[in-house]
Amino acid sequence: MKILMVLTSHDQLGNTGNKTGFWLEEFAAPYYVFKDAGAEVTLVSPAGGHPPVDPKSDEPDAQTDDTERFRNDAEAQKALANTGRLSDVAADTFDAVFYPGGHGPLWDLAEDKTSIALIEAFAGSNKPHGFVCHGPGALRHVKSTDGQPLIQGRDVTGFTNSEEAAVGLTDVVPFLIEDEFQRLGARYAKAGDWQVHAVVDGQLITGQNPASSAAVAEKILKALA
C-alpha cells in the first residue's frame, strides 16, 4: 500500500508579513494512521525539500499526541526535511493521495497545474484522494473527465467561513473554501466549528478542520480495503 502526501511550499500569509505553511497536526495525524497500517508513505511538495510549517501549529496549544510523536521520531523528521518534488511523481505509482492543510495550499497547490493534473489522475483512476482543512482548496480548479469541476454535485467539506473568521483571516486568504465550493456547485456540508467532520463521496474524501485529519486518513484506508 503506497500513499502519497502532498504538502505546500508556500510560506507567506498574504500581505500580512506573517508566515504560513502546512499545519503540523494535519500532517502528523494522517502520517501515523498510514504508517501504523503498514503503508509506505511518500512526501512531496512543489519545491521539494523541507516544506514550511505554519508557526501557529508549532505553538503549545496546538500540540497533540501525534505532533509529540513526530517530535520524537527522527525517521519522520528526516522524511519531512527531504520531501521530493511534486513534479517527479505520477499517480499510477500510488494507491491513494492525501493533502494536509494549513493556509499555504490556498496559494500554491490550488493553482499548481502539476497538482491539478495529479488529482485528476487519481480521480480518473478511481483511487482515493483525500484532503483536510485548507487542503481541499487544491480542488478549486480540478476538472472531471467531462470538463466540469470535479466537486460539482459532490458531497464535500473544508474549512468553514466561521472557522476562518475565528482565526481572523477572512480578508487575508485568496478565497474562502465554503464560498468557493458552493460557487462551483458542490454539496458543501459542515459541522460545528472545530468538530470532527469527514465526508466521503466515492473516492473523494474531505475533512473540515485539523481535528478531522485522522478521520480522513482512516476513511482513505477504508476505501483502500
Predicted confidence (pLDDT) per residue in 15-63, tens digit:
999 999 999 999 999 999 999 999 999 999 999 999 999 999 999 999 9
Average pLDDT over residues 155-182: 98
State the total domains in the chain: 1
| pLDDT score, position 203 | 98
pTM of the model: 0.97
d(CA 163, CA 131): 17
Average pLDDT over residues 145-166: 97
pLDDT band at 127 (very low <50, low <70, confident <90, very high): very high
Domain of residue 141, residue span? 2-224
Which percentage of the chain shows pLDDT scores above 90? 100
Average pLDDT value over all residues in the chain: 97
| pLDDT score, position 73 | 97
Instruction: Please name which of 57, 34, 47, 58 lies closest in space to residue 8, comparing C-alpha atoms.
Output: 47
pLDDT band at 113 (very low <50, low <70, confident <90, very high): very high
Triad 154, 164, 127: Cα angle to 5°: 30
pLDDT band at 200 (very low <50, low <70, confident <90, very high): very high
CB atoms within 10 A of CB 224: 16
DSSP 100: -
3-state secondary structure of 66: helix
> With contact defined as beta carbons under 8 Å apart, do 97 and 1 qualify?
no
Which percentage of the chain shows pLDDT scores above 70? 100
Instruction: Say which CATH number the domain at 106 has.
Output: 3.40.50.880
Average pLDDT over residues 142-154: 97
Average pLDDT over residues 76-80: 97
Contacts for 43 with CB less than 8 Å, ≥ 6 apart: 5, 7, 79, 80, 83, 84
d(CA 81, CA 87): 17
| pLDDT score, position 125 | 97
Grid cell listed for 10: 508556500
d(CA 92, CA 41): 15
